[in-house]
A and B are shown apart, each in its own frame.
Chain A
């Protein structure tokens, strides 16, 4: 089974900050990685797929990148509506989610 290790588990940031969240895969998954945003009481929302492709309608301040088995979601300038929990997911073999990163207001 492929494990996804996501870090940090939480972070505090201010509006306007640049934020980066990382996931490391336990083995190679090519670019079969997605990022989701979840707000309390709501279903997750797809932000990025294929490691770096932005889903339609997602603001350009979100971006995804990959280096080996490390994947990063970057928010270039945090907005009030971005405070949420973020999950990575691999879909190379079966499906696995990372543990989640809660982005809180500093």
Chain B
């Protein structure tokens, strides 16, 4: 059974960089695409970006150059960095496996941007 788990700070100061890691167990990141999605409190889902084990990435144009997604196949995990955060980046952040659509999700990590 594939399991994903997000980890990282739950509180980030404005203008700093949000960093999260998604650890994958029961499967390998050497297949499929691996995604980050977020959900602001009380709002809908927003796709942030994905990475393939080959290193190919694609991200939401709305994030412009603030987002970096990387993968570490030796640790079977992938990561998200979002720079210059503001209160608008406060959300639950999810990682998800993208086989044909998102068949496995992490439980989510609430990240609050506040000083």
Query: Which A positions have Cβ atoms within 8 angstroms of B?
Result: 1, 34, 36, 38, 42-46, 49-50, 55, 87, 89, 91, 94-100
Contacts and interface: CB of A to CB of B under 8 A. Distances in A.
Interface of B: 35, 37, 44-47, 50, 58, 60-61, 94, 96, 98, 100-103, 105-108
Contacts of B61: 1
Nearest to B105: A43
Contacts of B96: 43
Contacts of B94: 43-44
A86 to B, nearest CB: 11
Task: Decide if the interface of chain A is mainly helix, strand, loop or mixed.
Answer: loop
B49 to A, nearest CB: 9
Contacts of A100: 44-45
Contact of B47 (A43, A46, A97): A97
